[in-house]
A and B are shown apart, each in its own frame.
Chain A
Amino acid sequence: MSVEVKNVTKKFGSFLALDRVSLKVESGELVALLGPSGSGKTTLLRTIAGLEFPDPGDAQVLFYGEDVTAIPASERKAGFAFQHYALFGHLSVFENIAFGLRVRPTATRPPEPDIQARVAKLLQLIQLEPLAQRFPSQLSGGQRQRVALARALAVEPKVLLLDEPFGALDAKVRKDLRRWLRQLHEEIHITTLFVTHDQEEALEVADRVAILRNGRVEQIGTPEEIYDHPASPFVYDFLGNVNLFSGRIKDGAVVIGGTSFAAPETSGELDADAVAFVRPHDVRLTREAGGQTTFAARILRCNAAGPVANLELERVHGGGQFAAQLSKEEFQQLRPKPGEQMFVELKKMKVFPEDYSI
């Protein structure tokens, strides 16, 4: 039981938006499509909704085993929430939500009392009952997004598709709505795909995250999996701040500027240029030289505002600048000063051969 796309390719002129993409979303799952702009995530979502059709070939879109590839959007029974809501400006909130029910052919259209009841229930779900008679232009951005969601849910869709649902909202509203969406999903358990370019949003809300790049799915997995085990430098870089250290792989270790760090995953490679990816919070600072496992760096700037302290450092023996993140306690114990020289230990790293590019 799943919503599935297989081998979907889509070209716009000479631009390859989707390159043989296959993706499977299990029933009741909440999956985020994450990627930079132009990665094809919105095109993929629109293809599932039937607003775009894949290029001819062996492409398939399946809703719970049923092939809907050739079925137009109006008959697919997908719920779609647009980035800019696309609410009907001339209809009240109530009528917006009722729209999908009212346009049904007489044979399948629910009787008026049922429509009223269902819309009332959805209004309750989105906590906007008092605003039923307002018009979209009289609502805030967050309220509009919730109406758009209710409108999509009113037709009892087989899958809910959200295009950058919080993209046009300010940071505070965004966080609230994110939490609300997660709760809503827990309540109604509808198979949901949402597009975002915000990695924090994807990692916080989704059951699984699919990372797209240049029209391909780069990696798919639970937020934990993809954060802890990124499959490529691109994913590593996309999921948060990262430091790059270039070095050389030698006998299951990577040598960075004379210091050797254990890198067991590179044992296959014998002798090659490599780049080590290290998250700022995996950088540890000490005042004692640790021999083979540390290198010296000078502190350039410290910023201790907020829950963690962010530091910028420069390697003493050349090799450029990098960032470190310390907890408040560590920072208060160490009390590093700009200009001071300290020793750097890398707690965790991921090494990719040099020919990988971000």
Chain B
Amino acid sequence: MTPDVPTLHLPRRTGRRHSTSESPFVRRLLIGVALAFLSLFLFLPLVSVFTQAFAKGMGFYVHTIVDPMTLSAIKLTLIAAAIAVPLNCVFGVCAAWTIAKFDFRGKNILLTLIDLPFSVSPVISGLIYVLVFGAQGWLGLYLNADHPRLPWLANWLNDHDIKIIFAVPGIVLATIFVTFPFVARELIPLMQAQGRNEEEAARVLGASGWQTFWRVTLPNIKWGLLYGVILCNARAMGEFGAVSVVSGKIRGQTNTLPLHIEALYDDYNFTGAFAVASLLALLALVTLGLKLWVEHNQAALNEVEVS
């Protein structure tokens, strides 16, 4: 054996093409473990949701879905998402724009605050809203005070019987809170990576700030934005914890889909619970599909950029 002479033999183990690839045994083991996990914890539950949902046949499934309580829950979920997602979309773009394109004091504090909903338990965030807006909270104290400040506001709120907790506004607020990082988090790194050059080019060419946003910034971030919106929407429709605290769970009035599923389950109507759950599962599958499609488009864009 002469170590100095370069040898031109094939690598010892065939099929080993890169220095970082492992032996077939290790590879198969890793893939096997990953697949086993996936099927046990993701695929099996998904299949079971659908089998359980149809356990009493198609008739019962349809009956559960068209039940007024279910329809009301669907409606409320759609309303909450329809308000929360566009608002978070606007907020996310504003926050990402501010953070990526300007330098200012407290930038890191803003970044940390954006992550707050991720780090706080949803139940706590629901509770915060109860403490602020509930009958025993600040809003309640204000409305019941003998001499409130801004009496016209207190009167107006009392006259119109504006309720936030145990009502739709509370559900919307809680949904906005738990979903607001999604769009911002998706856009910040993207906008930071893109820098300011294209915006500057547009400005020098005479474009106004508004034109620069619509014609240059938005087209550049559209896939990232769409991705954020999809994730935000999925979470908005699926949120349980925070909404559960503020909703009061009045059937037909303040129950969202996840809360309605819990209610059905608590009634021992397992098949009904799974039938409604299958709607959310379906939403998840659609979300995954959309996510794949967006990622594919983003990747195609990046590939072209590099080459």
Contacts and interface: CB of A to CB of B under 8 A. Distances in A.
A283 interface: no
Interface residues of B, number: 20
Contacts of B216: 88
Contact of A90 (B197, B206, B220, B307): B220
A74 B204 contact: yes
B107 interface: no
A80 B207 CA distance: 13
Contacts of B205: 74, 99-100, 103, 151-152, 154-155
Interface in A307-321: none
Contacts of A100: 205-207
A73 B203 contact: yes
A120 to B, nearest CB: 19
B305 A74 contact: no
Report, as a range, how many residues of chain A touch the other chain: 20 to 34
A3 B7 CA distance: 68
B20 to A, nearest CB: 30
A345 to B, nearest CB: 52
A155 B203 contact: no
Contacts of A259: none
B56 interface: no
Contact of A79 (B204, B208, B220, B305): B204
A86 B200 contact: yes
Contacts, number: 72
A64 interface: no
B307 A74 contact: no
B22 interface: no
Contact of B208 (A74, A86, A135): A74
A49 B204 contact: yes
A73 B215 contact: no
Contacts of B201: 80, 82, 86-88, 151
Interface in A90-139: 90, 99-100, 103-104, 135, 137-138
B215 A103 contact: yes
Of B204, B206, B207, B211, most buried by chain A (CB within 10 Å of CB) is B204
A100 B215 CA distance: 11
B304 A50 contact: no
Given A86-B198, A88-B198, A88-B216, A78 B204 contact: yes
Interface string B170-203: 0000000000000000000000000001101111
A103 B207 contact: yes
B106 interface: no
Contacts of B215: 88, 99, 103
B198 A75 contact: no
B11 interface: no
B199 to A, nearest CB: 9
Contacts of A174: none
Contacts of A75: 206
A49 B216 CA distance: 19
B200 A51 contact: yes
B219 interface: yes
Contacts of A88: 198, 201-202, 215-216, 219
Given A51-B204, A99-B215, 4 more contacts: A82-B197, A86-B201, A88-B219, A103-B207
16 contacts: A49-B204, A74-B203, A74-B206, A74-B208, A79-B204, A80-B204, A82-B197, A82-B201, A86-B200, A87-B198, A88-B215, A99-B207, A100-B205, A152-B204, A152-B205, A155-B205
